[in-house]
Amino acid sequence: MTDDSPTTEHHHGREVMRALAPQGRALRQQIPEVYAGFVQLSEAAMRPGALDVKTKELLALVQAIALRCDGCIASHARGAAAAGATREEVAEAIGTTILMSGGPGTVYGPRAYDAFCEFLEAIEARGS
């Protein structure tokens, strides 16, 4: 007898980041200049200007969903939570991603929302 129920639990927040960290460190040792350039680009792009950091993190999160990048989703879900985004703001941003990306947005959008909630709950727990 086979059990067709899902047995794999998905993790989209800290666990994704932990899993990618050793691989990223190994590659960064081989191409440190590339990683340094990416860090510089990231810092420049996310610096507050005409758009605040929260808005930029929401934009990055919806782009991560559209690109179907679990590591990017985790990173920008964490960034959005740290920048003060609310569950409602993230949900609405994800809604626009679903509009623009269709079916894949309905798969990666919930992953992003789950990751965001995980990071937000950790922040809320530290604050209480």
**pLDDT reading at 39 higher than 70:** yes
Residue 8 has pLDDT above 50, yes or no: no
Entry pTM: 0.85
Stretch (H or E) spanning 108: helix 103-127
Please state, in angstroms and as integers, the Cα–Cα distance from residue 84 to each residue in 18, 29, 51, 90, 116, following that order.
23, 33, 14, 10, 11
> pLDDT, tens digit, for every residue of 58-107?
999 999 999 999 999 999 999 999 999 999 999 999 999 999 999 999 99
Question: What are the chain's domains?
Answer: 14-127 (1.20.1290.10)
Percent of residues in the chain assigned helix, strand, coil, to nearest 5: 80, 0, 20
- Evaluate whether 73 touches 65 at the Cβ level (below 8 Å): yes
